[in-house]
Amino acid sequence: MVSKYLINRRRFAVSAGLSAFTSLLFKGKAIAQEELDFDQTYDDVADFVIVGSGAGGGTLAARLVEYGYSVILIDAGPKETNIAGTVPALHASASEDPARAWKFFVKHFEENPERDPKYADTDQGGPGIFYPRGSAIGGSTAVNAMIYVRPHNSDWNHIAATTKDPSWQAEKMEAYHKKVESWLMPQQPELGFIVKSLFDSPKLRNIVVNTILLRGNVEQIKQIFPRDPFRILRDFKEFGFVEGANQAIQRVLKNFSPNKKSRGDYAQEGAYLISTATHKTSGLIRRRGARERLLEVEAKHPDRLRIKADSFVTDLIFDEASDAQSRVRGVMVDERPSVYGAAYQGPDDLKPKLRTYGARREVIVAGGAFNTPQILMNAGIGPMDHLTEMGIRTRIDLPQVGQNLQDRYEVGMVYQSKDGQPISITEECLFEPTEADPCYQDWLEPDTQTVYDTNGTLISFILKSGYTPDPDLLCFAIPAEFRGYEMDYSKKLNQVPGRFTYAILKGHTENRGGRVRLKSRDPYDTPDIDFNYFPGGYDDADLKAVVKGMESVRGVMNFGVVGHEWDELNPTANTNFAEHVMNTAWGHHASCTCPMGLDPRSSVVDASFKVHGMVNLRVVDASVFPRIPGHFIVSSVYAIGEKAADVIHQEYKA
């Protein structure tokens, strides 16, 4: 393979605000000031250069390679994984892994931000609220909780209506979900282990029973009482009581999935076992995501997929010819690990290692809701007034770049067992991949069902708050203490024995007032991120919906024997729910900062993912949604990665 390609015969000066190289900054200091000679060559060239390897970019890259194109895939994080990124139950540790994660600090409120107990001062890494993101091949799919829940039909139909493009309708998007699921293979937890844990821990069993009885839908409740009432007696006779009960419970639970259509749509009201992106290989249940997909495709097509890990994109390279200023030619990268401001530690080598990669056809940015608008704005694509303020010449005035930032609202209701005893299924677990951790040692035994095979979610229910047309609340039970994201949160989950959390997640949020802005024109600097929580104050519909979710959880936890087994710890029985939500809510599904639409004044990309005003620059990640879809966004991002591959292939295959 030829490693370098002649790209142009013309010389021109470059500048940080104009194209790729003018006074590249490092932590606010100029590190390079030179004229680029286009007799120089790119370090590599492919049909497509994709920036970011997460659910959008990674999925797109893999499919384009399978369609026969060559792809340079660039990510700031490492290619290698580790045990925390492999064992499903260690996902919290993975999200705080200094080698494979980034730590952003964001604003929830402009005024009095310290009202949130999770707020970190400057000496704690802030200021702001800790917001973990993946920085590795696979993006945040390499460190997330692996939850896979399909969005509602209305999410896709809204994009179809917004773009006037019927290919976005839910019935058409069904094919892309199936494509994703053919390789991601999301699955419910091992039912045998779930049932065993219920027998071993009566307190958890009672919570599961309450959830099914009080929040299960009619179809689910009917399954508890089979048409053949004597079948369970035959099971007892054939298998014994414990195994007979095991068989009966598994028959019920296997149908409790939000990814099975009910009443014509997904994620309808009811009680569920949440599917996760895990897969058994060599007898062990492991994380599966964009990274695993990419490595499989790379092994088959090493000539077409070139993965550039530990490579941070500092700018886009444009064709400066007067008749081609809307065309991007490639990207400039710094090939050193940990150079970005969100990294846990700085680079070992302070001297930049700059490389350029060229695209014969297109550059596609898939850096996520924070980094994609940052890359575009640093390249001069964004709101003119803000770019002017930053000293960056506007290439294309797109006011919505970085606007429209959206997220879920989440809160946790933490309970303490009245007897103070540990929860049996995690009693011996240290959540450390060491010889001293018996749960980890169990996981290492092939074909052994263990709590480490799961992400820790026991059971969940979906509820309609009444503030949106679709069921918007997803509440899930965790045998741990989780009050939201703060530094070292992963170490606090199981510090105190006998604690349990029912988390409430608000989907279909109405808040469109968040935004991402540059702090400086330094590409290594993190942006200013403000989610603008609850703009409607205590009358905010999202806040009221979360309160309804909390009341529903309280109903589950206070019903029958469960109410005598657990104490409300945070919030307490006397806490004002609305005030608690206002001050402590969090999110981790940032999206919508480069929304899709028809009008360049109110959107950033068109229905084919192309940036308005650009010939060959697209965005394919969570930032393109006009409004945040479903409950857990990753399933939707995977789907648009597949759709983008088809859109691009249709354009070029002729």
Residue 4 pLDDT > 60: no
Say how far apart CA 241 and CA 247 lie, in whole Å: 10
| pLDDT band of 32, cuts 50, 70, 90 | very low
Of all residues in the chain, the percent with pLDDT exceeding 90 is 78
Query: Across-strand partners of 354?
Result: 334
pTM, full prediction: 0.93
**Mind listing the pLDDT tens digit for each residue in 481-528?**
999 999 999 999 999 999 999 999 999 999 999 999 999 999 999 999
Structure-model confidence comparison of residues 337 and 23, the more confident one? 337
Query: What's the mean pLDDT in 259-278?
Result: 93
Q: Which residues contact 514 (CB under 8 A, 6 or more apart)?
A: 404, 405, 406, 407, 529, 530, 531, 532
Exposed / middle / buried, residue 195 (Cβ in 10 Å: 0-12, 13-18, 19+): buried
Say how far apart CA 276 and CA 641 lie, in whole Å: 19
Structure-model confidence comparison of residues 125 and 322, the more confident one? 125
- 331: amino acid identity, one letter: V
Q: What are phi and psi of 89, to 5 degrees?
A: -70, -10
**Mind listing the pLDDT tens digit for each residue in 557-567?**
999 999 999 99
Q: Which helix H or strand E contains 134, and what residues bound it? A: strand 129-134
**Mind listing the pLDDT tens digit for each residue in 440-487?**
999 999 998 889 999 999 899 999 999 999 999 999 999 999 999 999
Sequence-ordered strand ranges (E) for 256-347: 270-272, 278-281, 284-287, 305-308, 312-318, 328-334
Torsion, Cα 359 362 366 371, to 10 degrees, reads: 70
Say how far apart CA 204 and CA 552 lie, in whole Å: 18
Among left, alpha and beta (phi > 0; psi -120 to 50; other), residue 135 is beta
**Mind listing the pLDDT tens digit for each residue in 413-431?**
999 999 988 888 888 999 9
Q: Which residues contact 329 (CB under 8 A, 6 or more apart)?
A: 7, 317, 318, 319, 358, 359, 363
Helix spans in 29-82 (H): 57-66
SS3 letters across 185-244: CCECCCHHHHHHHHHHCHHHHHHHHHHHHHHCCHHHHHHHCCCCCCHHHHHHHHHCHHHH
Residue 62, SS3? Answer: helix
Sequence-ordered strand ranges (E) for 398-449: 409-417
Q: Which residues contact 425 (CB under 8 A, 6 or more apart)?
A: 197, 200, 201, 204, 451, 479
Least confident of 4-8, 325-329, 556-560: 4-8
Residue 74 pLDDT > 50: yes
Written as one string, the DSSP assignment of 441-508 is HHHTSTT---GGGS-S---EEEE--SSSSS--EEEEEESS------TTHHHHTTSSTTEEEEEEEE-S
Q: Which residues contact 599 (CB under 8 A, 6 or more apart)?
A: none
Say how far apart CA 142 and CA 55 lie, in whole Å: 10
Say how far apart CA 648 and CA 60 lie, in whole Å: 10
Query: What's the mean pLDDT in 353-381?
Result: 97
**Mind listing the pLDDT tens digit for each residue in 132-176?**
999 999 999 999 999 999 999 999 999 999 999 999 999 999 999
Least confident of 238-252, 298-312, 346-360: 238-252
Q: At what angle do helices 231-239 and 241-253 cross, to 10 degrees?
A: 130
Residue 48, SS3? Answer: strand
Per-residue model confidence (pLDDT) at position 617: 98
14 among annotated binding-site residues? no
Residue 614 pLDDT > 70: yes
Torsion, Cα 367 373 374 378, to 10 degrees, reads: 120
How far from the centroid of its chain's Cα atoms is residue 618's Cα?
20
Q: What are phi and psi of 470, to 5 degrees?
A: -95, 160
Q: Which residues contact 500 (CB under 8 A, 6 or more apart)?
A: 204, 207, 414, 415, 416, 417, 423, 477, 478, 479, 480, 481, 566
Mean pLDDT for all residues in the chain: 90
